[in-house]
């Protein structure tokens, strides 16, 4: 993922009025904690019109990619509400409306942040900490510790 690809996708999501919340490494960056990443992670509101706007945003950046048409409301509102989009240029995006039974779009605490010159919703540091602290991935544990130290968070 290039920073230009990330910026283009974020710009398109904002321009198309997609209801989304950034989480993962890009959210860490928005809060001033830099970590290399391979993709953009977003929660989306699982409503049909919002998913239509999401597809329109991705089509603005990748107009010839027919795979975008396969991103379906029924998937994001279904039992396994996560879609991985891999663009032709290597950009990756994890699009979720819920992570298991623990986190869903409507329950994600966010704040408006400016990132790459755009105003968008980003999961709060305490939300990111709660999401990451008990996972098994070492990089999530590392992120949780960095969030805890930087923002004075406690269990």
Residue 47 maps to which CATH number? 3.30.460
Q: Which among 135, 116, 98, 127 has a CA at the least distance from the CA of 1?
A: 116
Q: Which tokens hold the place of 38?
A: 């391979």
**Domain count across the chain:** 1
Residue numbers of the domain that contains 111: 3-124
In a domain, 38, yes or no: yes
3-class SS of residue 116: coil
In a domain, 148, yes or no: no
In a domain, 154, yes or no: no
Q: Which tokens hold the place of 102?
A: 């623990």
pLDDT at 100: 87
The secondary structure of residue 53, as a DSSP letter, is H
pLDDT at 3: 66
pLDDT at 57: 98
Predicted model pTM: 0.95
| Residue 63 contacts residue 52 (beta carbons within 8 Å) | no
pLDDT at 36: 82
Residues of the chain with pLDDT under 50: none
In a domain, 136, yes or no: no
């Amino acid at each position: 993922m290039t920073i230009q690809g990330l910026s283009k996708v974020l710009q398109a999501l904002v321009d198309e009025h997609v209801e989304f919340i950034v989480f993962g490494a890009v959210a860490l960056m928005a809060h001033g904690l830099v970590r290399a990443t391979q993709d953009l992670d977003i929660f989306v509101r699982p409503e049909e019109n919002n998913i239509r706007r999401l597809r329109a945003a991705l089509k603005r950046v990748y107009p010839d990619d027919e795979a975008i048409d396969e991103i379906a409301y029924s998937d994001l509102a279904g039992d396994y509400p996560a879609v991985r989009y891999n663009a032709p240029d290597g950009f990756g995006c994890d699009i979720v409306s819920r992570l298991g039974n623990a986190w869903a779009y409507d329950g994600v605490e966010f704040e408006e942040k400016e990132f790459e010159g755009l105003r968008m919703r980003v999961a709060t540091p305490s939300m990111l900490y709660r999401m990451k602290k008990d996972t098994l991935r070492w990089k999530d544990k590392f992120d949780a510790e960095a969030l805890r130290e930087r923002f004075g968070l406690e269990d």
